[in-house]
Structure 1
Amino acid sequence: MILHVILLVSMTGLIFTHPFDGHFRFTLGVVVLATLLLYFRRLPIISIAVSAGGVMLLFRILIKYPFLEESLLSAFWHNVPAFSYYLAYGLLFSVFKVRDYRGNIPALILLLSICDIASNCVELMIRQEPGGRSLETILTSLVAVGIARSILIVIGYYLMKRYRDFVLAEAHAARYAELIFIIAKLKAELFYLKKSSADIELVMEKGYTLYQTLNAAQPGELVRPESPSARALAIARDIHEVKKDYYRVARGIEEILDVAVRKEGLPLSEFFQIIEQNTRRYINSLDKPVSISFIYYGEVVTDKYYAVVSILNNLIINAVEAVEPAGIITVTARYSGGKLHLAVADNGPGISPEDVEVVFAPGYSTKFSEVTGQMSTGLGLSHVKNLTESLGGEVTLTSKPGKTVFTVSLPLTNLEVSEAD
């Protein structure tokens, strides 16, 4: 990076103007030098200034010498005072600790102006070529140019700083959106884990009831390890151990989510934008010509946005995979009858009438990997149905060739977060 800075300063130092008769000139190089020194605090001030001055001196000699009727030594002496300017500027920049005043614009402009004016005075004294101009004219020019260049430096520094803040904000927004989707997926999996725990509890009770029935029918058979009652009791015990493992995993995930999840609600427009950004990144990664639009009317603030994000994400991914080889997808949100209606429509081939009845069943899938030949898990739409019902809503499907629409209707009373909350 240091080499790049030196080359950039040296090359911009070739952009100049002659204010007086002679070899003295005002260049753009010092603006670039000071801007980069302010922005990159780790850059060594004096060594950068000296190196840039030396390389610029070399550039000027190599570029102009072949076209001038003078010796190499003469060309060197005509340009070496410019090196003294950069040396003086670097020393003054360091002595005045200009970087410490980056938050005080008037003081920063004043110190940069002093560094510029004083360094130009050093160069003029070494050159000893006033060119017939009065001292007042020379000083006026030095002060005006020094202030003008200092203002340009401050503007350049704050523009770079503003751009960095913009890039960091973009990166933060991307990480935040990614976190939203990760937590949404975890919450959906946690929902299924709890549902499975309840199912396991029920199976364990049935197993224990079976043991009691068998033991009552054949008293004393429990002492025989291979007896039906003993085997039923062993199965109930094994299921109980599995249930405890499920509870431990579920509790661990809940504790992680308690730390990661923000408790307050999000407006519909905000997490809709997150879904849109994530979806467009997903489509771009597929290199698939899919057009998708997001339309929403009104606003609602909800703390159930992780469930809504998971619902929409599953429906949208299904739609993207359904439209082959390309297609159009529309995602809408509207309010009607005290409910939030979310719809994902695509112009894919549609779903056959016999499949409409079983499309939400766990394990149902028509997708498979072309590489491994394995079928998809078929849990996406099952997730949608269960999450929707957990919010007191319902999901419906209408499909025909060229148009498939999944509509999720959620009661606003189960979604909205009041100001008091």
Structure 2
Amino acid sequence: MIPHVILLVSITGLVFTYPFDGYFRFTLSVAVLATLLLYFQRLPVISISAAAGALILMFRVAIKYPFDETFVSTLIHNLPSFGYYLAYGLLFRLARVRDYTGNILALILLLSICDIASNCVELIIRWELIGRNLETVLTSVVAVGVGRAVIAVVGYYSLKRYRDFVLAEDHAARYADLIFIIAKLRAELFYLKKSSADIETVMEKGYTLYQTLNTANPGELAQADSPSARALAIARDIHEVKKDYYRVTRGIEEILKVAVSEEGLPLAEFFQIIEQNTRRYINGLDKPVTITFDYDGTLVTDKYYAIVSILNNLIINAVEAVEPSGIIVVSGLCGRGKLTLAVFDNGPGISPEEMELIFAPGYSTKFSEVTGQMSTGLGLSHVKNLTESLGGQIDVASRPGKTVFTVTIPLANLVVNGTGPHPNRIV
């Protein structure tokens, strides 16, 4: 880092102009040096300034020496420039310029003073003030000092603004990723809870079977291989599985409780997150898919994880369905007391035979071309379960060249603290 800064300042030091007759010159490197010292707060001010001055001296001697009489004369003529940078670094440090980055006027004033004073030091070392009009010299020095200070401040705030923009972009990307990870976890958690309820039912049936068998044959329980003893053992095993499910679900719930708040999110905001994530996903595929998003309304909901998971599964299915390329349209409509989500694709469609099975857990026609393994077939099952958990329903219409999945959810099940869509906003 430090060598790059020194080299950059030194190279810009080769851009200069001679304001008076003699060897004194104004360069662009001072503005660059000030900008970098302000932006990179950990840079050592004095050592950076001295090193940059030394390297500039070396560059100037190397360029000028072949055209001057001797190496010594060239070195003497350019040595005062090193004094300028050393003085600038010392004044910059003593004035604690970095402490005033929040005050533009004070920052310009201090940088101007450092520049003007350092130029005066160089002029004195060079004896350039003797026999010259001081008013003319000082006017030029002050004007250039203020100008370079302004350039340095503009450069500093430009770099800072760019950094803030990059950080904001990175934060938004990480936030979107977090939303999707949590949405997937919540979908899995919903499925685990549903399975836990099924396990509870099976356990109760097993225990009821044991009671029935034991009542019919009271002395049979003492026999390890008797039907009643086996029914009781099965009920106990199922109870252990139920406890494991409970521990897993409680663990995931605790993680989610720490990871996110339950504050509501506007429809437009989480739709933008879905759009950004989807476009990144499609860009990572070698597949020319055109996708558009259309949404409106002022709904604020804390159930956005479920909605994100619903749309994410439907969109991924649509992307996989359009081969080798295709068009996908995702829309969200708030109005008439419900949220309507629709995902359209122009893929080959779903056959009537498959239409009755697509929401069944484990049903899938997709497989990996690399491993040959079938898909888990839980995507649409998750979508259906999540939709119904919100009191909604999912419908599908399909024919070759057009498939539309439509999810409708009552707004009353989505709003947070009485907030809802604007009564006049209908897409």
Decide whether the 8 Å contact of 1:21 with 1:131 is kept in 2: no
Letter aligned with residue 47 of structure 2: S
Secondary structure of residue in 1 paired with 2:406: strand
Structure 2 gaps of 5+ residues are 421-427
Match of 1:27 in 2: 27
CA distance in 2, matches of 1:6, 1:305: 51
Decide whether the 8 Å contact of 2:49 with 2:85 is kept in 1: yes
Secondary structure of residue in 2 paired with 1:343: strand
Residue 71 (structure 1) shift: 2.1
Letter aligned with residue 249 of structure 1: V
Secondary structure of residue in 1 paired with 2:52: helix
How far does the alpha carbon of each residue in 1:205-248 deviate from its partner, in whole angstroms, 9 at most, with x for none?
11011111111121100000111100000000110111111111
Match of 1:152 in 2: 151
Residue 404 (structure 1) shift: 1.1
Decide whether the 8 Å contact of 2:68 with 2:74 is kept in 1: no
Match of 1:114 in 2: 113
Decide whether the 8 Å contact of 1:20 with 1:130 is kept in 2: no
Match of 1:77 in 2: 76
CA distance in 1, matches of 2:418, 2:12: 57
Residue 130 (structure 1) shift: 4.2
Match of 1:6 in 2: 6
Residue 336 (structure 1) shift: 4.2
1:251 paired with 2:274, answer no
Residue 331 (structure 1) shift: 0.3
How far does the alpha carbon of each residue in 1:160-213 deviate from its partner, in whole angstroms, 9 at most, with x for none?
111111111111111111111111111111111110010000000110111111
Letter aligned with residue 322 of structure 2: V
Decide whether the 8 Å contact of 1:200 with 1:239 is kept in 2: yes
Structure 1 gaps of 5+ residues are none
Match of 1:174 in 2: 173
Letter aligned with residue 60 of structure 2: R
Match of 1:281 in 2: 280
Secondary structure of residue in 2 paired with 1:220: helix
CA distance in 2, matches of 1:54, 1:23: 17
1:217 paired with 2:221, answer no
Residue 126 (structure 1) shift: 1.2
CA distance in 2, matches of 1:41, 1:56: 23
What aligned pairs does 1:346-361 form with structure 2 within 5 A after superposition?
346-361=345-360
Secondary structure of residue in 2 paired with 1:359: coil
How far does the alpha carbon of each residue in 1:329-372 deviate from its partner, in whole angstroms, 9 at most, with x for none?
11011134321110111111111111111111111111111111
Name the TM-score, length of structure 2 as normaliser.
0.96
Decide whether the 8 Å contact of 1:348 with 1:403 is kept in 2: yes
Secondary structure of residue in 2 paired with 1:295: strand
Letter aligned with residue 96 of structure 1: A
CA distance in 1, matches of 2:178, 2:363: 28
Decide whether the 8 Å contact of 2:12 with 2:28 is kept in 1: yes
Match of 1:39 in 2: 39
What aligned pairs does 1:13-412 form with structure 2 within 5 A after superposition?
13-66=13-66, 68-130=67-129, 133-412=132-411
Secondary structure of residue in 1 paired with 2:4: helix
Question: Which runs of 4 or more aligned residues in structure 1 lie more than 3 Å from their structure 2 counterparts after TM superposition?
Answer: 130-133, 418-421
How far does the alpha carbon of each residue in 1:86-121 deviate from its partner, in whole angstroms, 9 at most, with x for none?
011011111111111212222221211111011101
Decide whether the 8 Å contact of 1:20 with 1:131 is kept in 2: no
Decide whether the 8 Å contact of 2:267 with 2:296 is kept in 1: no
Residue 69 (structure 1) shift: 4.4
- After TM superposition, the structure 1 stretch with the greater mean CA deviation from structure 2, 249-258 or 125-134, is 125-134
CA distance in 2, matches of 1:419, 1:7: 61
How far does the alpha carbon of each residue in 1:388-414 deviate from its partner, in whole angstroms, 9 at most, with x for none?
011111111111111111111111111
Count matched residues. Answer: 420
Letter aligned with residue 52 of structure 1: A
Residue 418 (structure 1) shift: 3.6
CA distance in 2, matches of 1:72, 1:239: 93
Decide whether the 8 Å contact of 2:361 with 2:381 is kept in 1: yes
CA distance in 2, matches of 1:72, 1:365: 83
Compared CA separation, residues 410 and 360, structure 1 to 2 (3 A): same
Letter aligned with residue 54 of structure 2: G
Secondary structure of residue in 1 paired with 2:373: coil
- After TM superposition, the structure 1 stretch with the greater mean CA deviation from structure 2, 127-136 or 240-249, is 127-136
Secondary structure of residue in 2 paired with 1:221: helix
Residue 35 (structure 1) shift: 0.8
CA distance in 2, matches of 1:420, 1:259: 25
CA distance in 1, matches of 2:130, 2:322: 77
Letter aligned with residue 226 of structure 1: D
Decide whether the 8 Å contact of 2:299 with 2:419 is kept in 1: no
CA distance in 2, matches of 1:366, 1:28: 66
Name the TM-score, length of structure 1 as normaliser.
0.97
Residue 314 (structure 1) shift: 0.3
How far does the alpha carbon of each residue in 1:366-393 deviate from its partner, in whole angstroms, 9 at most, with x for none?
1111111110000000000000011111
Identity, % of aligned pairs?
Answer: 76
CA distance in 2, matches of 1:48, 1:375: 62
Letter aligned with residue 59 of structure 2: F
Decide whether the 8 Å contact of 1:31 with 1:152 is kept in 2: yes
Decide whether the 8 Å contact of 1:338 with 1:412 is kept in 2: yes
